[in-house]
Amino acid sequence: MNSNNSNRSRAASARGFLARFTITPLAALGILAGTVPAARAADTPCTTTISSGTINGNLVVPAGDTCILAGTVTVTGNVQVGKGASLTVKPNPRQTVTIGGNVQAAHCQFVRLVPSSDGVISVEGNVHIQHCTAESGYDALPPDEAAIVRISGNFACDNNSAECVARGGTVSGNVRVDNNSNVGGSVAELLFIIVGGNVHVDNNSGSPFVGANTIGGNLQCAGNTPGVTDSFGGFPDVNKVTGKKQGQCVGL
């Protein structure tokens, strides 16, 4: 009798142990479902003018095409500009273009961020323009100086064969303008920018203009031919630098 009771007790304990570690079919499905990655939005090509709306994911300007963002437009991902392509971001007055990721261009024709009066351009990532053939960059200084450009990351313009410009606006990260050439003209203009980090202007063929900027880090210039100037319209525009002025920019 005691032996039977003991056997029944052990069997009950075993059933309880198994119950605690048994996964029902629904639970197993739930676990598997939780491991499936969410589908990524497909890239959206831009070959014309977009005046309004939200683009989920990346916006791509195919090689040789032209894209204009001209109204209240939001891109949740990156904007990528292909070979020989051009991008103009020019929100109308009192409208905003928001780019949630980066603006990236390689071997393009040009990239120009040029808001109209009271227009706003906000890039939440970086802007990187390289190996392009026509004037590129951004200009937040229209005649009435009411436009706004905000770049939350870095601004870089390098290895281009035309002028790079960064006029007005705010760059929260670093600014780098390197290895650009513009035969017979200015190779770069960095004017009235508020920069959170450092500014590097190196190895450009031409005389970069670097003036009237407010820089939270260092201002470093080297290897520019024939040199760097802060004189605009005959008047010097001294840079306010929290860190150090170094190299060719020591006196600017």
CA distance linking residue 76 with residue 18, whole number of Å: 49
Indicate whether 99 and 221 sit together in one domain: yes
Residues 91-101 pLDDT 10s: 999 999 999 99
Indicate whether 139 and 122 sit together in one domain: yes
Asked if the model's pLDDT at residue 11 lies above 70, the reply is no
Residues 224-246 pLDDT 10s: 998 998 876 665 689 999 999 99
Contact assessment for residue 191 and residue 173, using Cβ atoms and an 8 Å cutoff: no
Tell me, yes or no, whether 252 lies in a domain.
no
Asked if the model's pLDDT at residue 37 lies above 60, the reply is no
Confidence at residue 42, expressed as pLDDT on a 0 to 100 scale: 82
Indicate whether 124 and 109 sit together in one domain: yes
Query: Prior bond to 226 cis, omega within 30?
Result: yes
Indicate whether 240 and 174 sit together in one domain: yes
Asked if the model's pLDDT at residue 215 lies above 90, the reply is yes
Indicate whether 55 and 176 sit together in one domain: yes
CA distance linking residue 101 with residue 103, whole number of Å: 7
Residues 115-172 pLDDT 10s: 988 899 999 999 999 999 999 999 998 666 678 999 999 999 999 999 999 999 999 9
pLDDT classification of 103: cutoffs 50, 70, 90: very high
- Would you call 63 helix, strand, or coil by DSSP? coil
Following DSSP, what letter does each residue of 146-187 receive, concatenated?
A: --EEEESS-EEEES-SS-EEEESSEESS-EEEES-B-TTS--
Average predicted confidence (pLDDT) for the chain: 85
Tell me, yes or no, whether 114 lies in a domain.
yes
Asked if the model's pLDDT at residue 40 lies above 80, the reply is no
Tell me, yes or no, whether 71 lies in a domain.
yes
Give the residue, 116 or 50, on which the prediction is more confident.
50
Indicate whether 31 and 156 sit together in one domain: no
Residues 76-93 pLDDT 10s: 999 999 999 999 999 999
Confidence at residue 206, expressed as pLDDT on a 0 to 100 scale: 86
pLDDT classification of 186: cutoffs 50, 70, 90: confident
Indicate whether 13 and 136 sit together in one domain: no
Query: Nearest to residue 226, comparing CAs of 208, 247, 245, 246?
Result: 208
CA atoms within 13 Å, Cβ hemisphere of 117: 2
- Residue matched to tokens 């002028």: 163
Tell me, yes or no, whether 12 lies in a domain.
yes
Indicate whether 217 and 130 sit together in one domain: yes
What is the number of structural domains in the chain?
A: 2
Indicate whether 116 and 29 sit together in one domain: no
pTM: 0.82
Tell me, yes or no, whether 2 lies in a domain.
yes
Tell me, yes or no, whether 5 lies in a domain.
yes
Indicate whether 119 and 21 sit together in one domain: no
Indicate whether 20 and 133 sit together in one domain: no
Q: Over range 192-211, report the average pLDDT.
A: 95
Indicate whether 93 and 163 sit together in one domain: yes
Contact assessment for residue 177 and residue 203, using Cβ atoms and an 8 Å cutoff: no
Contact assessment for residue 230 and residue 205, using Cβ atoms and an 8 Å cutoff: no
pLDDT classification of 39: cutoffs 50, 70, 90: very low
Domain with 152, as residue range(s), is: 43-247
